[in-house]
């Protein structure tokens, strides 16, 4: 592998690696050659260290950025709600009312039951995921640069490029679907739905297999769809940044090539705004549909 390719590979790996905090076993040789004398909770300084920490490890950047964005969402919407008036609305109030009306129309169009929790849940999912996705539009080196200045080995800016975050949200939705399925239909009704459809009591094993796969596919598809789209978008931004770095190394036509790279970045960013919004909308809409299915009783 050439030095340039090696550098590019390391750049990509660095920008896609989470800041992981976990426990390494005694006798483990660290990235700098240090051998641990006891089990130690520490930050991973390489992808291999993050892998060796096992399941009980925390991606601090995903947790921190998502919580900060969630708190920002609550603060901004709560502040507008406190200052809301029946007179001439401010720009902030207009925006919040438009978002709430959009969510309300989406819920009314997809949810046929009665549950006062669904609309607030849909609002939270849409805005929170949109804000996390929107972090993908920040300049690719800003957040890692801040991390480097703070002495941190990694810091990934987009929580939804971490499958732990997307699966966390989708599993939460899945648990709500299970809860309302049992609450609305009863244990017998829920079990009957899994075992008696679509072929009746004589096709019980096939029914259980088909309905079980259909049930499990809901959280998996929710998580992987969001993760896959955002991860691919982040990868393209990184590749565009690498292209710009390579082009500026030419002695002839560097300005033209760099200008082309800026136009390419701008064009992809504008297109990615649609992806950012669409993925938040799809996650929200599927959540509403799944909860609507959980509230419907089949006979």
End-to-end CA distance of the chain: give it in Å, rounded: 63
Give me the catalytic one of 30, 46, 115, 225: 225
Report CA 10 to chain centroid distance, whole Å.
24
Catalytic annotation present for 221 = yes
- 127, two tokens: 């805005």
- Residues in the chain, how many? 299
Give me the catalytic one of 94, 214, 221, 254: 221
Name residue 21's beta-bridge partners: 43, 58
Phi-psi region of 200 (alpha: psi -120 to 50; beta: other; left: phi over 0): left
Catalytic annotation present for 79 = no
Give me the catalytic one of 133, 181, 229, 265: 229
Q: What is the DSSP letter of 137?
A: G
Which ranges of the chain does DSSP label H, i.e. alpha helix?
3-15, 47-52, 60-83, 91-110, 118-134, 142-149, 163-196, 204-247, 254-295
Sheet of 20-24: strand order equals: 40-43, 20-24, 57-59
Angle, helices 163-196 vs 254-295, to 10°: value is 30
- 257, two tokens: 């090539």
Whole-angstrom distance, CA of residue 162 vs CA of residue 61? 10
- Specify the pairing of strand 57-59 against strand 40-43: unpaired
Measure the CA angle with vertex 17, ends 13 and 18; round to 5°.
175
Residues annotated as catalytic are: 221, 225, 229
């Amino acid at each position: 592998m050439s030095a340039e390719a090696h550098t590019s590979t390391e750049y990509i790996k660095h920008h896609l690696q989470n800041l992981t905090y976990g426990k390494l076993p005694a006798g483990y040789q660290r990235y700098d050659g240090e051998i641990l004398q006891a089990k130690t909770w520490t930050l991973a300084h390489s992808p291999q260290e993050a892998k060796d920490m096992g399941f009980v490890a925390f991606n601090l950047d995903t947790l921190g950025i998502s919580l900060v964005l969630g708190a920002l969402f609550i603060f901004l919407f709560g502040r507008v709600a406190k200052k809301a008036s029946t007179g001439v609305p401010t720009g902030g109030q207009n925006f919040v009312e438009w978002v709430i009306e959009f969510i309300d129309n989406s819920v009314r169009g997809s949810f046929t039951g009665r549950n006062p929790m669904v609309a607030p849940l849909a609002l939270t999912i849409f805005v929170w995921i949109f804000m996390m996705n929107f972090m993908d539009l920040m300049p690719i080196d800003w957040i890692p640069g801040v991390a480097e200045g703070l002495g941190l080995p990694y810091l990934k800016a987009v929580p939804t490029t971490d499958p732990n975050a997307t699966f966390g949200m989708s599993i939460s939705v899945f648990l709500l679907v299970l809860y309302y399925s049992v609450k609305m239909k009863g244990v017998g009704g829920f079990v009957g739905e899994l075992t008696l459809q679509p072929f009746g009591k004589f096709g019980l094993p096939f029914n259980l297999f088909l309905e079980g796969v259909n049930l499990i596919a809901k959280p998996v598809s929710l998580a992987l769809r969001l993760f896959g789209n955002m991860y691919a978008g982040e990868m393209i931004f990184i590749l565009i940044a690498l292209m710009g770095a390579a082009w500026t190394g030419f002695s002839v036509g560097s300005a033209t090539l760099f200008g082309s790279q800026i136009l390419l970045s701008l064009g992809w960013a504008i297109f990615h705004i649609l992806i950012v919004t669409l993925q938040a909308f799809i996650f929200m809409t599927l959540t509403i549909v799944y909860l609507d299915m959980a509230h419907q009783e089949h006979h």
